[in-house]
């Protein structure tokens, strides 16, 4: 979690100029970095139940955006990323309890009627961008020999006013730490949480 806070190479990857070009286009403005994560999903590892990133980040106004980069080829066998097309327009869906024998995270978002997850089959080096309302997750790594490693960065539009306290300080794309107000509650689902998201 948050390797950019103590590793200069991780920070440089989060602020990569090529990523910034796409973020500005997709977000319609200047992005700020909020989170970095490295997942090293080994053979036999659990996945993460379907979820929405902004349930955790609580970016206001708007939502966050992920840049999800495959470090290994990702497919159904090794627990590749599943996404629900068109769910970027959904509101946050309050999660239920996940099956922790299959998911290391305790939350699971039920798939709304008329929508269904699809596999985002990716090659090593591919990056998928999606906003914080997109429902996504992954199944267990059922391969006996293959890892499914990924590098994930989350961003918010620079005019945000609040975010969950777990993601402060933010980082401007020129590398400065930024602090905004933190969201003290649990957002539209209420309550509080202690944890992290990814896939």
| Percent of the chain residues past pLDDT 90, beyond the cut | 90
pLDDT at 10: 97
**How does strand 31-41 pair with strand 170-172?**
antiparallel
pLDDT at 72: 98
pLDDT tier for residue 186 given thresholds of 50, 70 and 90: confident
> Quick check: helix, strand or coil at residue 50?
strand
| Percent of the chain residues past pLDDT 70, beyond the cut | 95
pLDDT tier for residue 191 given thresholds of 50, 70 and 90: low
CA 126, 74, 44, 52 torsion-angle sign: positive
pLDDT at 196: 42
pLDDT tens per residue across span 30-82: 999 999 999 999 999 999 999 999 999 999 999 999 999 999 999 999 999 99
How much is the average pLDDT of 168-180? Answer: 96
* Residue 33: its H or E element: strand 31-41
pLDDT tier for residue 194 given thresholds of 50, 70 and 90: low
Better pLDDT: 1 or 152: 152
Burial of 18 (0-12, 13-18, 19+ CB in 10 A): exposed
Contact 161, 33 (CB under 8 A): no
All structural domains of the chain:
3-189 (2.60.120.620)
Q: Is the pLDDT of residue 162 over 50?
A: yes
pLDDT tier for residue 197 given thresholds of 50, 70 and 90: very low
Q: Measured between alpha carbons, how far is 153 from 109 in angstroms, rounded to an integer? A: 21
pLDDT at 65: 98
């Amino acid at each position: 979690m948050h390797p950019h806070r103590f590793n200069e190479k991780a920070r440089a990857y989060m602020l990569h100029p090529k990523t910034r070009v796409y973020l500005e286009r997709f977000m319609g403005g200047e992005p700020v970095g909020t989170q970095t994560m490295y997942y090293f999903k080994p053979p036999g590892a659990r996945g993460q139940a379907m979820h929405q990133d902004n349930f955790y980040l609580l970016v206001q106004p708007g939502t966050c955006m992920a840049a999800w980069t495959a470090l290994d080829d990702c497919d159904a066998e090794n627990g590749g990323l599943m996404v629900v097309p068109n769910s970027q327009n959904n509101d946050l869906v309050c999660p239920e309890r996940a099956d922790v024998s299959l998911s290391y995270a305790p939350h699971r978002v039920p798939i709304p009627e008329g929508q269904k997850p699809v596999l985002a089959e990716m090659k090593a080096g591919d990056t998928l961008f999606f906003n914080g309302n997109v429902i996504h997750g992954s199944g267990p790594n059922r391969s006996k020999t293959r890892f499914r490693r990924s590098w994930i960065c989350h961003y918010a539009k620079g005019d945000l006013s609040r975010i969950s306290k777990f993601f402060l300080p933010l980082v401007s794309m020129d590398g400065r730490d930024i602090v905004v107000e933190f969201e003290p509650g649990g957002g539209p689902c209420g309550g509080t949480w202690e944890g992290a998201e990814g896939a």
